[in-house]
Amino acid sequence: MTSTLKDMRPTPKAGVLDIAAYVPGKEHAPGVAKVYKLSSNETPLGASKHAIDAYRAAAERLEIYPDGQATALKKAIADVHGLNADNILCGNGSDELLGLLCQTYLSPGDEAIYTEHGFMVYKIYIMAAGATPVVAKEDHERAEVDSILSAVTARTKVVFLANPNNPTGTYLPFEEVRRLHAGLPKNVLLVLDAAYAEYVRRNDYEAGVELVSSFENVVMTRTFSKIHGLAALRIGWMFAPAHVIDAVNRIRGPFNLNSAAIVAGAAAIRDRAHVDQAVAFNEKWLPWLAEQLTALGLRVTPSVGNFVLVHFPDNAAKSAEKADAYLTGKGYILRRVTGYGFPNALRLTIGSEEANRGVVAALSEFLK
């Protein structure tokens, strides 16, 4: 009997090798003296000083296991947002929590829905659970409730909605989210990914607390990677009904948050002045960038996040690919979003004043 290479080594379970691995934004511009990384939606203000101090203090107790329940962090989140700490679960970034939800609620044969330009990690975790990803078309780069509801079948178990969405920066008003929830069967879990919620300054927006508090099939996920500036520590949290918390806790790793993340996160979320400063900075530069880029003849998707999606002309010499290469050569790193369905667009994070003014000047030169 002839052995094949497949017989001679462990083989991943069915479906794993069908998953396209997540590709993060670039970080380097070789040969450039000064680099402005505007590809990962990181805050230009950095982390709270209180969070940094707490992180440093944690170094004195590295031999001690972290609190497996992240009690101090959950209490800080609960205090700031007026929530019950028993309905909060923390994770190694909100990405881990999204994956745990898929592992908890999806099985082979099930379906989970996300929108056309939604976060690519949804598809990865859905497939990793053995379920089938289903894409709902968007309307003008915005999630569309009727499109999502029309994709629901008897096999649907989870619906993911990034609100605001990345990379478009668009959002659904709360009444539309409420309409989406009302149209879903009660056994379908609605996951509201509100990673950019703190940046939204719209009266018709609500991150999801009200729906989670009122129903048994809604979860809201949040992150410390964006406005709190703790991307390096990987801290996320979710607010969910008690039965969801109980189920996910059963498969969560016992020490999924390290001690430095717990104390730094607690300090960061309590530093409201730092958050307010970040919001004010974004409120100043988000419209400025949109106006400047539009004046250059580029289309910008209206955004409520800390980034803009910039669309380039149907001109091979002035394409997003050529712009990306040109900007990288000048030290400005933006995010290619071809995998999100935008082959001729770049996502630009709001950076420092120097970075914002510089990237506009570089684009002006490129487009001439």
Give tens-digit pLDDT for 209-240.
Answer: 999 999 999 999 999 999 999 999 999 999 99
**Is residue 336 pLDDT above 70, yes or no?**
yes
Stretch among 6-10, 82-86, 97-101, 217-221 having the lowest mean pLDDT:
6-10
Query: Minimum mean pLDDT among 14-18, 150-154, 299-303, 304-308: which range?
Result: 14-18
Lowest mean pLDDT among 3-7, 76-80, 322-326, 350-354: 3-7
Is the per-residue pLDDT at 2 higher than 70? Answer: no
With vertex at residue 295, the alpha carbon angle to CA 287 and CA 325, rounded to the nearest 5 degrees, is 90
Top-confidence residue, 182 or 24? 182
Give the C-alpha distances (Å, rounded to integers) separating 31 from 66, 247, 331, 359, 363. Answer: 41, 50, 9, 18, 20
Residue 30 has pLDDT above 90, yes or no: no
Residue 193's closest CA among 121, 139, 108? 121
If one compares 9 and 258, the residue with the highest pLDDT of the two is 258
Query: CA–CA separation, 367 vs 365, rounded Å?
Result: 6
pLDDT(7) > 80: no
> Residue 83: what pLDDT?
98
d(CA 30, CA 359): 17
**Please, what is the average pLDDT of the chain?**
95
| pLDDT above 80 for 252 | yes
What does the pLDDT average to over 27-33? 72
Work out the average pLDDT over 158-176.
98
Question: Which whole number is the average pLDDT over 197-212?
Answer: 97
What's the confidence (pLDDT) of residue 18?
81
Q: The whole model's pTM is what?
A: 0.93
Q: Provide the β-strand partners of residue 239.
A: 88, 220
User: Which DSSP string do the residues of 87-120 spell out, in sequence order?
Assistant: GEEEESHHHHHHHHHHHHH--TT-EEEEETT--H
